Amino acid sequence: MLSEKEREEILEETKLYPFPKAACIDALKIVQHHRGWISDEAIADIASELSMSKDEVDGVASFYTRLYRKPVGRNVILICDSVSCMIMGYESIYDYISKKLGIKFGETTSDGRFTLIPNTCLGDCDHAPALMINNDHYNNLSIEKIDSMLEKYQ
């Protein structure tokens, strides 16, 4: 079941398009915002709200990288692994974080605090290497900066 708030927010989005189905991505984003990720139940909820089939909604959800079909940690770290960050040494940053948290790309810490995901270019190439935690950008990274940076996210 969609919550009242989720339904309201989705309704607002549908007004921007000629038909409700076009708000599918927005609806997925809204539900993920409230629930952290998109479960099969969430897919079904959105499908009935937008008069779509479940498979159709899942087809959209599974296409986009920022829609999570599996549970993620409370904080998501997105490390840029594109070429400018490679030149400037993102690998050592990844190695350090991976060792510190005991997780590899695609994994979540056992306490649910962090998920680590590789990410394509963040548009921060002149300040490489760069990463994002939730909605925050960090750049010109060096290993010395990482501990205090991670401390902000519990």
Partner 1 sequence: METPLTKYIKPNQAPLDLKEYEKTGGYEGVKKILKGMLPDDIIGLVKTSNLLGRGGAGFQTGLKWSLVPKEKDVAGVRYLVANADEMEPGTFKDRYLLEGNPHQLIEGMIIASYAIQAEKAYIFMRWAYKKAEVIIKKAIEEAYSAGYLGKNILGSGYNLDLHLHTSAGRYICGEESALLNALEGKRGIPRAKPPFPATSGLFGQPTVINNVETLSWIPHIIENGSDWFIKLSTSGEGGTKLYGVSGRVKKPGLWELPLGTTIREIIEDYAGGMQDGYQLKGIIPGGASTDFLIASQIDTKMDFASVRAAGSRLGTGTMMILDDKTCPVAFIHNLIKFFAKESCGFCTPCREGLPWVEKVLMKFEEGNATLKDIEILEFHTKYLVPGNTFCAHAPGAMEPLQSGLKYFKDDFLRHINEKHCPWR
Q: Which is nearer to partner 1, 87 or 143 (CB)?
A: 87
Residue 10 C-beta: closest distance to partner 1, Å:
12
Residues 144, 96, 85: CA angle, nearest 5 degrees: 80
- Name the minimum Å distance from CB 99 to partner 1: 19
Q: Closer to partner 1 at the Cβ: 57 or 103?
A: 57
Q: Closest distance between partner 1 and the C-beta of residue 138, in Å?
A: 12
Asked if residues 93 and 139 have their Cβ atoms less than 8 Å apart, the reply is no
Q: Which is nearer to partner 1, 55 or 111 (CB)?
A: 55
Q: Kindly tell me which of 21 and 113 has the beta carbon lying closer to partner 1.
A: 21
Report the distance separating Cα 109 and Cα 114, nearest Å.
6
Residues 6+ apart with CB under 8 A from 108: 71, 72, 73, 114, 115, 116
Residues at the site binding partner 1, with contacts judged by CB under 8 A: 16-18, 21-26, 28-29, 59-60, 63-67, 81-84, 86-88, 120-128, 132, 135-137
Q: Are 46 and 27 in contact (CB under 8 A)?
A: yes
State the minimum distance, in angstroms, from the CB of residue 131 to partner 1.
11
Cα(10)–Cα(25) distance, integer angstroms: 10
